[in-house]
Chain A
Amino acid sequence: MKIFPGMHYTMGGLWVDYNLMTNIPGLFAGGECNFEYHGANRLGANALLSCTFDGLKGGPKIVQYCKGLKQRSCDSDSSLFDAEERRMTARLDEIANMRGSENAYVIHQELGQMMTNNVTVVRRNDELKGGIEKIHELKERVGRVGIGSSTAVYNQELLFVNQLTNGLELAHAIVEGALQRDESRGAHYKPEFPERDDENWLKTTKAAYSPAGPQLSYEEVDIRFIPPRKRVYNVDKTASA
């Protein structure tokens, strides 16, 4: 096993409102898959916060949401479901018929290597820009993979290509968000901008999908109860400020 210093957590995830509902009505996200609470660094043991709080709060909210619905999904017109099934089947068929020369696992490794080299704790803008170029290259190459698995049973390669395609979008959002944020905060450290810049960057980065790449926007951080302060370890915390 190889070990190196890195960030302790990805600190990002699906956007949810205070009721843990994503921007897709009726789709809730609880636990580590959503973006809540952690800000630019998730401190140790805070996984317990997300699992207990989201379960405690999300469960009743989901029940409440369901009770308030005027129409249940099983009463909806079946054509809605049929259309979605056709869309997904078509997507999987499309992947299954890919006969290009690229290997999806190699592309995945290259993506992982680039993200590890350029987009962990220390981030430099030129390397981030290089990362985005690499992602464009990989996005193009993933369209030319060849599927080597013939039978339909448990075709892991097919699922892998589907995930890799989505994973490239996610990586793109991470790198783009990091590139824009010219400051250092939590597990995001830019040697060119070593200080935290609350005036410009005390905000959450949001990314929305578009075929051309992630569309970024920002959301204010709620600091009503706990004003942000510098996280330092070399001071006596018991001394009054």
Chain B
Amino acid sequence: MSHAEEGKSAPSHSSHSETSAGHSGRKIRVRVKRQDNPNALPYWQEFEVPYQPGHNVLSLLMELRKNPVDISGKRACPIVYDSGCLESVCGACSMVVNGKARQGCTALVDQLEQPITLEPMNKFPVVRDLAVDRSRMFENLKRVKAWVEIDGSHDLGPGPRQNPAEVRERYVMSTCMTCGVCLQVCPQFAIDNNFVGAQTINQVRLFNSHPTGEYQSDERLDAVMGNGGVEDCGNAQNCVKACPKSIPLHESIASVGRQATVRAFKKFVGL
């Protein structure tokens, strides 16, 4: 993946730390946007963590929990954040690191400019500190039936044969981890509108192109047509650049857009 492009500051770049670290060696400086509950006002807090090579943002936050004291020496509540896999497959740890939406677990401290700023994604409701409520995405997955419908637990026999090239193409789409980064960077997706966004549209393409999943194609398309649907995409293509899984989201949106047009036409002429 494209972590190399984030190497704005070389690991040895530590001029600022000499002023703050004193005799105890290098420190990592981090500013965190905090919010005590969904309705509270956010505020910033700054911390210093003794330098260790190889930290990522999550391991840094773990280190902070062991001694949650801010730079003025004041005791702080441990910073709340979500995480699961720690290896960029669960999507739970999305946050805005130095202004860029990404996974905390793959954001290497040695490659980040300091002070590192951490903010929650602002396209989702903040639960507390860096933890946001991503349920809008999961609700959308339910609406579009992002699964292959199999009726009952009786033996259905082997599934239809699939072209390996198509399987490979679909595999990439299936790696979506519902992290929300594509929605955070999307100019059309707002916290208070109902645009479905790239993440859900990509799943519509995935399941509509599955030989058994395609039986629910019409229902899936109906769920992403009309107000807030695929037509609301402004084609900014921020999503495809930001997706940590390199999913060709612009192709998914184009494909589902075409399917929706055909569906609309068929409905119009009563097919």
Q: Assess A153 versus B37: contact at CB under 8 Å? Given A103-B67, A105-B66, A109-B66.
A: yes
A154 CA to B132 CA, complexed, in Å: 11
How far does the Cβ of A51 sit from chain B's closest Cβ, in whole Å? 15
A147 CA to B36 CA, complexed, in Å: 15
Q: Which residues of A contact B37 (CB under 8 A)?
A: 151, 153
> Which of B74-82, B222-230, B258-266 sits within the interface?
B74-82
Nearest B residue (CB) for A106: B66
How far does the Cβ of B34 sit from chain A's closest Cβ, in whole Å? 11
Q: Which residues of A contact B211 (CB under 8 A)?
A: none
Nearest B residue (CB) for A55: B153
How far does the Cβ of A235 sit from chain B's closest Cβ, in whole Å? 36
Q: Which residues of B contact A157 (CB under 8 A)?
A: 77-78
A105-B78 in contact (CB<8A): yes
A148-B128 in contact (CB<8A): no
Q: Assess A149 versus B77: contact at CB under 8 Å? Given A103-B67, A154-B128.
A: yes
Q: Assess A1 versus B68: contact at CB under 8 Å? Given A149-B77, A154-B80.
A: no
A156-B78 in contact (CB<8A): yes
Q: Which residues of A contact B77 (CB under 8 A)?
A: 148-151, 157
A103 CA to B78 CA, complexed, in Å: 11
A60 CA to B68 CA, complexed, in Å: 49
A2 CA to B56 CA, complexed, in Å: 12
A157 CA to B129 CA, complexed, in Å: 13
Q: Assess A149 versus B78: contact at CB under 8 Å? Given A105-B66, A154-B127.
A: yes
B66-A148 in contact (CB<8A): no
How far does the Cβ of A62 sit from chain B's closest Cβ, in whole Å? 12
Q: Which of A59, A60, A154 contacts B131 (CB 8 A)?
A: A154
Q: Which residues of B contact A103 (CB under 8 A)?
A: 65-67
Q: How many positions in chain B have a CB within 8 Å of any CB in the partner chain?
A: 18
Q: Which residues of A contact B65 (CB under 8 A)?
A: 103, 105
A153 CA to B75 CA, complexed, in Å: 19
How far does the Cβ of A151 sit from chain B's closest Cβ, in whole Å? 5
Nearest B residue (CB) for A109: B66
Q: Assess A60 versus B153: contact at CB under 8 Å? Given A103-B67, A153-B37, A153-B38.
A: yes
- With an 8 A cutoff between CB atoms, is B99 at the interface? no
A33 CA to B65 CA, complexed, in Å: 28
Q: Which residues of B contact A1 (CB under 8 A)?
A: 54
- With an 8 A cutoff between CB atoms, is B167 at the interface? no
Q: Which residues of B contact A105 (CB under 8 A)?
A: 62, 65-66, 78
How would residues 36 to 78 of chain A score, 1 for a CB under 8 Å from any chain B CB and 0 otherwise? 0000000000000000000000011000000000000000000
Q: Which residues of A contact B38 (CB under 8 A)?
A: 153
A150 CA to B65 CA, complexed, in Å: 15
Nearest A residue (CB) for B75: A148
How would residues 93 to 105 of chain A score, 1 for a CB under 8 Å from any chain B CB and 0 otherwise? 0000000000101
11 further interface pairs, Cβ-Cβ under 8 Å (given A103-B67, A154-B80, A156-B78): A59-B153, A105-B62, A148-B68, A149-B77, A150-B36, A151-B37, A151-B77, A154-B127, A154-B131, A157-B77, A157-B78
- 20 sampled A-B residue pairs with Cβ under 8 A: A60-B153, A103-B66, A103-B67, A105-B62, A105-B65, A105-B78, A148-B68, A148-B75, A148-B77, A149-B77, A150-B77, A151-B36, A151-B37, A151-B77, A153-B36, A153-B128, A154-B127, A154-B131, A156-B78, A157-B77
> Chain A residues in contact with chain B, CB under 8 A?
1-2, 59-60, 103, 105-106, 109, 148-151, 153-154, 156-157
> Chain B residues in contact with chain A, CB under 8 A?
36-38, 54, 62, 65-68, 75-78, 80, 127-128, 131, 153
